[in-house]
């Protein structure tokens, strides 16, 4: 008749084990929750050429590109991205810069199908420049809104834009769409408008508001194949690339003419 007393004794004996297991599970859950709040990703790609906002950055030559991104569950993110470029060295033999390095950060979130993203981006071009050369380093603030497959984004330059004199306040409006068309294929479409205001230097008008402003567009297809991300796009602009105009390269090429760009990359 000692059984009723044995049950609570057994329960008391097992209590430390159960409690220990509960603590271990809670600790593991807390650790997993803490770990999942932070994410770090990397990407690397090779492009047949580098086009930014429709304008050639490597004058038709290939580009090796890559970056790192950190994001927090709160919506805060930071990142950096780089690519080889040639447009600065092409423009002046005394310029040694051949790399673009971008640093950015912001905050993003979503309400159902609607998303938002605000942040700041700094374009840096390490290298040496001759006296009097207008700095190409550029800072932009941006705001974007998305709905399902569509994203509308506006970027505003708080400095001169990529070395253009007296171009502070330039703005870029970008509408993009990413459509899943099945079988792993995605359709990528984009249209954007770069506005560069009229400018003066030394009290002399050097540019009207229409001289360097332009519209660009892109239509492409994307697919992941053999573990790599492939993107083939047709890119074109109405940028003025004639002799003596804004988008004529030092190699006497139209930097905004129509082209096809192939990019192969991978994200980690």
Query: Count of alpha carbons within 13 Å of 186, Cβ hemisphere only?
Result: 14
CA 20 to chain CA centroid, Å, is 47
End-to-end CA distance of the chain: 66
What DSSP state is assigned to residue 29? H
Q: Which CATH number fits domain 39-267: 3.40.50.1820, 2.40.160.40, 3.30.70.980, 3.40.50.300?
A: 2.40.160.40
- Domain spans of the chain? 1-36, 39-267
What does the chain come to in residues?
A: 268
- Averages of pLDDT over each 10 residues, the chain, 268 residues: 36 38 49 72 98 97 98 98 97 94 98 97 97 96 97 98 97 98 96 97 93 98 97 98 93 95 97
Report in angstroms the alpha-carbon separations of 184 from 2, 227, 248. 69, 12, 38
What is the model's pTM?
A: 0.86
User: How high is the pLDDT of residue 250?
Assistant: 86
Q: Between the CA of residue 150 and those of 108, 185, 250, what are the distances in Å?
A: 16, 17, 37
38 vs 34, 78, 79, 228, CA distance in Å?
Answer: 7, 11, 13, 25
């Amino acid at each position: 008749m000692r059984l009723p007393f044995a049950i609570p004794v057994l329960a008391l004996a097992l209590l430390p084990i159960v409690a220990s297991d509960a603590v271990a599970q809670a600790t593991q859950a807390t650790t997993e929750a803490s770990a999942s709040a932070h994410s770090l990703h990397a990407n690397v790609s090779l492009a047949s050429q580098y086009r930014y906002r429709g304008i050639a950055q490597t004058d038709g030559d290939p580009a090796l590109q890559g970056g790192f991104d950190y994001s927090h569950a709160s919506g805060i993110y930071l990142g950096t991205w780089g690519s080889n470029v040639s447009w600065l060295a092409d423009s002046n033999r005394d310029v040694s810069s051949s790399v673009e390095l971008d640093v950015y950060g912001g905050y993003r979130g979503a309400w159902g199908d609607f998303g938002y993203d605000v942040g700041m981006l700094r374009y840096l071009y390490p290298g040496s420049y001759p006296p009097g050369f207008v700095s190409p380093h550029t800072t932009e603030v941006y705001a974007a809104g998305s709905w399902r497959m569509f994203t509308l984004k506006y970027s505003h330059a708080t400095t001169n834009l990529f070395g253009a004199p007296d171009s502070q306040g330039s703005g870029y409006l970008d509408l993009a769409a990413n459509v899943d068309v099945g079988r792993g294929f995605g359709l990528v479409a984009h249209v954007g408008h770069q506005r560069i205001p009229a400018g003066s230097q030394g009290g002399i008008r050097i540019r009207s508001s229409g001289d360097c402003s332009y519209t660009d567009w892109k239509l492409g297809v994307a697919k992941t194949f053999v573990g790599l991300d492939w993107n083939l796009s047709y890119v074109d602009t109405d940028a003025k690339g004639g002799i003596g105009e804004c988008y004529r390269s030092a190699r006497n090429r139209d930097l905004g003419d129509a082209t096809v760009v192939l990019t192969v990359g991978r994200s980690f």
